[in-house]
Structure 1
Amino acid sequence: MYIAHVRELDKEIQPVNAHLLGVQRLAEQFGGKLGLKHVAGLAGLLHDLGKYSDRFQQYIDVVAFHPEWPQPKRGEVDHSTAGGRLLFSLLHHKESTFCEKLLAEIVGNAILSHHSNLQDYLSPEIKSDYLRRVQDTNLPEYELAVERFYQDTMSEEELIHYIHTAVDELEKFTNRTPEQSFFLTKYIFSCLVDADRTDTRCFEEQIEAEESTDHLLLFDTYYRRLIDQLATFKGKNNPSERINMLRAQMSEQCDVFATERPSGIYTLSIPTGGGKTLASLRYALRHARKYKKQRIIYVVPYTTIIEQNADEVRKILKDNEHILEHHSNIIEDESNGLEDGDEADDGLITNKEKLKLARDNWDSPIIFTTLVQFLNVFYAKGNRNTRRMHNLSHSVIVFDEVQKVPIHCISLFNEALNFLKQEAHCSVLLCTATQPTLEGVKHSLLKDRDGEIVPNLSEVAKAFKRVELIDHTKVPMTNETLADWIHDEVHGWGSTLVILNTKSVVKDLYKRLKDGPLPVYHLSTSMCAAHRKQKLEEIRHLLDQQIPFICVTTQLIEAGVDVSFKCVIRSLAGLDSVAQAAGRCNRHGEDVSRNVYIINHTEEAISRLEEIKVGKDVSSHVLARFKKKADQYEGNLLLPKAMSEYFRYYYTRMETNLNYYVKEIDKEMTKLLMSLSQENDYVTHYQKKNGTRFPLILNGSYKTAAEHFKVIDQNTTSVLVPYGGGKELIAQLNSGAWLEDVSKFFRQAQQYTVNLYSQEREQLIRDNAIVTHLDGMIYELKENWYSDEYGVDLKGEGGMDFMGW
């Protein structure tokens, strides 16, 4: 018996052939969703072929059964290269067809990389990690491993037949473009990684197979519950009856559109306060039932929206079990510098390995996640991210507040959505009152023609007009003058929301206001999700009771948070942000009209926040034009005409930023990933350097791109904080007991984590404010460094809040 894994608990052995065939079966299921059953299955079948070597068998024997002996260096035996080399030797010759070579490159790269990141076919150093692995890496027992594979798992004749079937599938699928080839490689990689982790986890947990949920049956139930809930809204008397009628009309339009139009990329441009969450849910459930989609995924810009929308959906659908909130990774994939990545699987399933195997693959029927996590699936390093990709196929994907896609990720975002629409059988819904013109940029979004669900948008927006924008930018303001103005006027305004552009000025203004006559609330991304949720519940209570108070916050409240203030003050930013801020004022038409003041704040440090800075400049330009010719905008800056003009100017100003630029290597990300050979200067350099044609079809620098990709400018690390239920989770970690249900722990921990920038994390580590658990895989923040007012407190004064100091 050849050993693939050894269970640490009872030293039970999983044979290599059982693991290979188990991963093959799962990968076939995942790949079959795109008609690529055998392409993905081939990756599963060959991924651990190298474990048939004597070196690996001796290695696992020592590690698992002889801990008293001198232990070999972890990962010193390369077991990932052999399968990729076998494919290359069988399929990559001068006489091979295009699809045979493409199959060897796509599947081979997945096999080589299944414990690391996809390899570069050609790197900025004009080297091919892929070619080095399949041609040059020293594998002294390669032939022995292949012979044992043929004897123990699948005969050579059977494998050749299987490969031919995979080639046929690829010929039907491929359009031979570099864009499709990149996403196809990532997809097959995703199928393999998830299948490998899942089969290993099933062996570890001693279960036969993953339990599957009948999502379509659930969607039927959900749809009935949603319709029942919408019917109760109709029967309620409300002072804003006209708005409720419009909401009902738009909801019904979503229902009809969902069944009449096939899967594609569509827009839902409901004005703020128009019931976008429930209308988009109605579209998603109806479309999923009609076109047999496997899941519904909500992608939002901020975690604050996840909290509110997921709660709202849970209450209406009456289901807490099948709705996943995915804020961020509680643990991150490690990179410990070993060249070929085999360190992640030495065959012994330790507690640390169990964490990595935890079910974190987005297989829930309804998922709420963030733009950061969505983009990471396609472009970030770490196979924990890529593992989820195959579960995006055959989905309805709803992007809430799509205008918040970071400017440098626009091209990459568009390319990912185009793949999901054209190849992965997804229906994509772009939801926002401030619809960006993504179809007008270089890497354009392939929106469907006549794809707006709500007709007569301008008339609908006029009907939803509930505020007056007051341009108060002529006299610049500091926090001191702003605080004085608020103190003078707030009693006349009533409940007042102040939104500024940076956390530092928000915190300073809060301190200036909190000793005044009215209650003052502070919201920040330095608070964990559960903390913000508690603060928002208190805020909504005061709003319901019509008690005057002040809330000071950053833009986190703008998108998707259902609150309605009497007055809003917004520091000048992009017109879309101003419009979203206006949506938090008189949201449900309680009054005929209320004021939203736009101010010019002079103390915000935005010189390095280019998107805010340029948005502010373009908004100033539009405001100036509006003053001169308001009739050209139908007298309202919140109508679609002004918004379209704003985004045209904005994307023109930011044109060089739309295509993610990697300054370290002077290259655009799309060119690293998706360029034809004749357009790739790396290929030209290779051919000059070597005096020969570049031998591969693919030339992407996949590993290099992943290492440089970041949705936000700075990397962040999730830390578990001592707030509410987070204290119980921390106590569980500190008890020393093993986490029996790791996946459940991760789900619970989502509500009690804060993402720290690297400099914040390093400062807290220096101050001994962070405790690590499970070999440094989970971070815990000590209690004194978490404040009831501010969240994470870098000064370590948070404990004073709890003691009443």
Structure 2
Amino acid sequence: MYSYKLNSHENILLINHLKNVGDRCSEIITEKDIKFSYEKEKLMYVSKVMGYTHDLGKGTKYFQRYLDQMINYGKSDVDKNLRCHGYLSALYTYHLLKDYDEELALMAFTIVKRHHGNLENSDVEYTIDAIQVKSAKKLVKNQLNSLEKEEIKHILEELGLKYVDENLLLNSIEDIAYEAFEQLTQIQKNEDLEKYIVYKFLFSCLIFGDKEDAIFHKFNNIKYDIPYNIVDEYKKIKFKSKNSKLGNIRNQISEDVEKGIKESNNRIMSITAPTGTGKTLMSMSAALKLKKKLNKNMKIIYCLPFTSVIDQNYEVYSEIIEKVMGEEKVTNDRILKHHHLSEVHYISEWENYNDNKAKFLIENWNSQIIVTTFMQFFNTVFSSRNSELVKYNSIANSIVLLDEVQSLPFKYWLIINKLFKVMAEKLNIYFIFITATQPLIFEQDEIKELIDQPKKYFDKFKRTKLHVNLDSIDYNSFLVEMENMILENEEKNILIILNTVKLAQSTYEFIKSLDLENTRIYFLSTGIIPKERRKRIREIKTGNIQLDKFIYNKIKGLINDVSFKKINNTIIKLNKIKKRKIVISTQLIEAGVDIDMDIVVRDLATLDSINQSAGRCNRENRGEYLGDVHLYNINNENGKEYNSFIYDNYLISKTKEVLSEKNIIYEEEYLDMNKEYFEKVRKDMSEKESKDLIEAILKLNFKDVANNFKLIDSKDKVSVFIEVDEQAKNIWNEYKKIMKQDNPLIRREMFNNIKKDFYDNVINIFKNKVKESEEMGIAYVPYEGLCASYNKDTGYKVEENDVIL
């Protein structure tokens, strides 16, 4: 038996790594019900060959010396180009596949070449001039001269692949360049979105298998065991003694959705239901019933537009599993939360992970149910980045729930329509779009509404009436109206939603100056650090004052038990005194923040935003009470509408068209009103952004697609760490120590341990509004200078019309 010596990673033989990755790539495709124009067996073979050859270039003396030096000394003097293995490995891949399928061989060549990097535009990838050919030949010749040829021959033989002569590899560089140019000519004529999807899918299979084996040396398959009726069982436990009109309507809607699932053969569906009708439970139940109907192992990916509401929905789903399956079953292989602030901690029934293993499992959605953001999902769909595409294969064989889809920018409706229809068919994905205000992304015959005649449920809801006033009102006059409203409704909870941070801050200060009795006044905006924002939302929802956990533990540690008990009892007594609430907020409160107010005031916004704001009013349908939603069109001293600082003028104009000549609109009219709005938007909207993206996709310009699809444009924003208290000071000092660590891998691992607490103190501000200079990659407000930049009540101090998020 041959004695293998070449390594791919520390203590991992190259032969073992190549075999594991190739077998894993093939297994991933075997398990997926993909339906490309390429035969499934052909893709399985191509992916296996990619896995078997992707690191063959590590068989040079250059790479082996580099690996040995890095293991022993943490640094290496080996030339970077000579130790790189992607291009040489890709040559092997191409030659072993070119007689099998020329097109897929070239695709596999570029995938292997790029497997440690990001996908490039095809015009860059497939264009190589004479100078580049000469440089590539020189590099490959040096690498081939240092190749451990005997062991490479044995590796290929054991993997069932033929040996490729080194001279053939070297001399074929020009041939590949020619074939690439020919392929580019064909790509320019491409009219099928499939190539874009299959390219990314194969790339994802390879980089996923590569990283999984390097980290775990084993496969991490999911065992699907969440019962299809778990939501039904949970409702029996949770609501067994509760019976209400709203509860009955929720049950009727759920039954309608379940019936729709049984009758639907569509891959693209929708749930259109009024706000506050239990869509969180309803949508999960629908997904599980669909999974049962399909009788397949399908991931459920539940997506929301805002990070701020991910925790809330994750906790609901965790509670469902806990109540029905048992507390010990609430594990990350069943339910997983993933956004950019997620803790790097993964728990399965068998093992706990806190390191790179946890990071890999979380970022690759290794779970039965994933609760994540639009940002994470759409970045995966449109990205060219290695770190985001590694989970692209995970969205095949999945049920994707997109909640609050009205927040998707209208400029992307066309590309979402075109791409999702192909992805659904090719990758076996079922999409369910969920909202009270369904945008017209798909034609009626392209999407199946799971609720038979949604209007019958909107007609049953008479919770609110919208008072429309589109006439301009200056800010001072608006404040007078607010004062009168507050004084005339002394027992009513009032929510005031304004379009700019400065406007909201000024309004908060004005209302605070009224010195109101028996009233708690709250301010919310993204300029408030996240941990304080969450605390305020909890207090608004429950009506109970809550001490920050760190402060709570600090007080407890500083005083004796008797004194602490007195403080605790005082808080309990205060919470028993029912006080009305006045909340001043920016638009962050619109979607997913589950609060219930008596009166809502809204500065003019787009109609879908107005509808979401109305969803915070009389949410729980309190008997005969009809909640009031007041719409104002506030102008600044120059006569400019404040909505113009936030919203697209085109969308505001369509909103005004729909609302013009209306004084009061009742909730049962909201559905028709929103339909009219979206029809007007779609009729005249520009499709340029979508059409440009479609053209880039057809040309396989991966980088251009990624750069031009932006749900949130954050390029001009700066993260700012706010040192609000002793805990924040400790975290910042820990961060400074971490940033002094030379090794980037160790630095990242150390930061992951404090990431959640760190970002609990971070806000995002437009670059030209930040007063502080950056320290170690982030702007920093020290506790000593807090007053100059940050107000603990109203957050980051901004100028007139400034926007934070």
Query: Into which bin does the TM-score normalised by the smaller protein fall?
Result: 0.7 to 0.9
Tell whether 2:184 aligns with 1:178: no
Q: In 2, distance between residues paired with 1:134 and 1:368? A: 50
Structure 1 counterpart of 2:533: 532
Once the two structures are TM-superposed, the CA of residue 753 in structure 1 deviates from its matched residue by 6.3
Q: In 1, distance between residues paired with 2:494 and 2:58? A: 65
Map 1:627-642 to 2 at 5 A: 638-642=669-673
Sort the Cα spacing of 1:557 and 1:740 in 2 relative to 1 into closer, same or farther, 3 A: closer
Map 1:353-502 to 2 at 5 A: 359-440=362-443, 447-448=446-447, 451-478=448-475, 480-493=476-489, 494-502=492-500
- SS of 1:430 mapped into structure 2: strand
- SS of 2:399 mapped into structure 1: strand
- SS of 1:438 mapped into structure 2: coil
Which region of structure 1 is more displaced relative to structure 2, 323-332 or 468-477? 323-332
Q: Contact conserved, 1:39 with 1:107, CA < 8 A, in 2? A: yes
Correspondent of 2:506 among 508, 517, 520: 508
Q: In 1, distance between residues paired with 2:278 and 2:456? A: 17
Tell whether 2:696 aligns with 1:672: yes
> What is the number of residues matched between the two proteins?
689
Q: In 2, distance between residues paired with 1:282 and 1:131? A: 60
Q: Deviations over 1:192-211 (max 9, x none)?
A: 22222222222xxxxx4255
Sort the Cα spacing of 1:212 and 1:254 in 2 relative to 1 into closer, same or farther, 3 A: same
Once the two structures are TM-superposed, the CA of residue 427 in structure 1 deviates from its matched residue by 1.7
Correspondent of 2:630 among 584, 594, 597: 597
Tell whether 2:119 aligns with 1:107: no
Structure 1: gaps (5+ residues):
8-12, 163-175, 203-207, 333-350, 661-667, 675-698, 773-777, 796-805
Tell whether 2:699 aligns with 1:703: no
Larger Rg belongs to: 2
Map 1:649-688 to 2 at 5 A: 649-659=680-690, 668-674=692-698
TM-score, normalised with respect to structure 2: 0.76
Tell whether 2:653 aligns with 1:617: yes
Q: In 2, distance between residues paired with 1:115 and 1:572? A: 48
Structure 2 counterpart of 1:233: 239
Q: Contact conserved, 1:327 with 1:370, CA < 8 A, in 2? A: yes
Tell whether 2:61 aligns with 1:54: yes
Which region of structure 1 is more displaced relative to structure 2, 484-493 or 736-745? 736-745
Structure 2 counterpart of 1:168: none
Structure 2 counterpart of 1:690: none
Q: Deviations over 1:507-558 (max 9, x none)?
A: 3322332333243211122345443321111111239986322111122211
Once the two structures are TM-superposed, the CA of residue 433 in structure 1 deviates from its matched residue by 0.7
Q: In 1, distance between residues paired with 2:134 and 2:320? A: 53
Q: In 1, distance between residues paired with 2:14 and 2:533? A: 48
- SS of 2:591 mapped into structure 1: coil
Once the two structures are TM-superposed, the CA of residue 572 in structure 1 deviates from its matched residue by 1.4
Tell whether 2:315 aligns with 1:303: no
Sort the Cα spacing of 1:390 and 1:495 in 2 relative to 1 into closer, same or farther, 3 A: same
- Aligned-residue identity in percent: 24
Q: In 2, distance between residues paired with 1:317 and 1:722? A: 37
Tell whether 2:218 aligns with 1:209: yes
Structure 2 counterpart of 1:258: 261
Correspondent of 1:326 among 326, 338, 347: 338
Which region of structure 1 is more displaced relative to structure 2, 398-407 or 482-491? 482-491
Once the two structures are TM-superposed, the CA of residue 489 in structure 1 deviates from its matched residue by 1.1
Q: Contact conserved, 1:85 with 1:135, CA < 8 A, in 2? A: no
Q: In 2, distance between residues paired with 1:3 and 1:793? A: 59
Once the two structures are TM-superposed, the CA of residue 497 in structure 1 deviates from its matched residue by 0.9
Sort the Cα spacing of 1:39 and 1:230 in 2 relative to 1 into closer, same or farther, 3 A: farther
Q: Contact conserved, 1:120 with 1:702, CA < 8 A, in 2? A: yes
Sort the Cα spacing of 1:230 and 1:751 in 2 relative to 1 into closer, same or farther, 3 A: farther
Q: Contact conserved, 2:9 with 2:214, CA < 8 A, in 1? A: no
Once the two structures are TM-superposed, the CA of residue 271 in structure 1 deviates from its matched residue by 0.6
Correspondent of 2:675 among 634, 644, 647: 644
Structure 2 counterpart of 1:581: 613
Once the two structures are TM-superposed, the CA of residue 114 in structure 1 deviates from its matched residue by 1.6
Map 1:119-138 to 2 at 5 A: 119-123=120-124, 127=127, 136=136, 138=139
Correspondent of 1:246 among 222, 244, 249: 249
Once the two structures are TM-superposed, the CA of residue 488 in structure 1 deviates from its matched residue by 1.4
- SS of 2:300 mapped into structure 1: strand
Q: Deviations over 1:624-674 (max 9, x none)?
A: 2656xx9xx9x76843322122112112332235517xxxxxxx1221112
- SS of 1:711 mapped into structure 2: coil
Q: Contact conserved, 1:2 with 1:52, CA < 8 A, in 2? A: no
Q: In 2, distance between residues paired with 1:274 and 1:637? A: 14
Sort the Cα spacing of 1:120 and 1:521 in 2 relative to 1 into closer, same or farther, 3 A: same
Structure 1 counterpart of 2:47: 40
Q: Deviations over 1:63-118 (max 9, x none)?
A: 333568x73465663311123223334555xxx68xx1331233222212122211
Q: Contact conserved, 2:121 with 2:704, CA < 8 A, in 1? A: yes
Q: In 1, distance between residues paired with 2:378 and 2:631? A: 32
TM-score, normalised with respect to structure 1: 0.76
Q: Residue 479 of structure 2 aligns to which amino acid in structure 1?
A: A
Q: In 2, distance between residues paired with 1:720 and 1:528? A: 9
Q: Contact conserved, 1:226 with 1:316, CA < 8 A, in 2? A: no
Q: Contact conserved, 2:500 with 2:646, CA < 8 A, in 1? A: no
Q: In 1, distance between residues paired with 2:215 and 2:751? A: 12
Q: Deviations over 1:346-387 (max 9, x none)?
A: xxxxx9999986752111222222212211112234211111
Q: Contact conserved, 2:605 with 2:647, CA < 8 A, in 1? A: no
Q: In 2, distance between residues paired with 1:134 and 1:224? A: 63
Structure 1 counterpart of 2:21: 23
- SS of 2:710 mapped into structure 1: coil
Map 1:119-158 to 2 at 5 A: 119-123=120-124, 127=127, 136=136, 138-141=139-142, 143=144, 145=147, 147=149, 150-155=152-157, 158=160
- SS of 1:308 mapped into structure 2: helix
Q: Contact conserved, 1:298 with 1:369, CA < 8 A, in 2? A: yes
Q: Contact conserved, 1:720 with 1:749, CA < 8 A, in 2? A: no
- SS of 1:639 mapped into structure 2: helix
Structure 1 counterpart of 2:767: 759
Map 1:778-797 to 2 at 5 A: 784=786, 788-791=792-795
Q: In 1, distance between residues paired with 2:271 and 2:127? A: 46
Correspondent of 2:581 among 524, 549, 555: 549
- SS of 1:456 mapped into structure 2: coil
- SS of 1:139 mapped into structure 2: helix
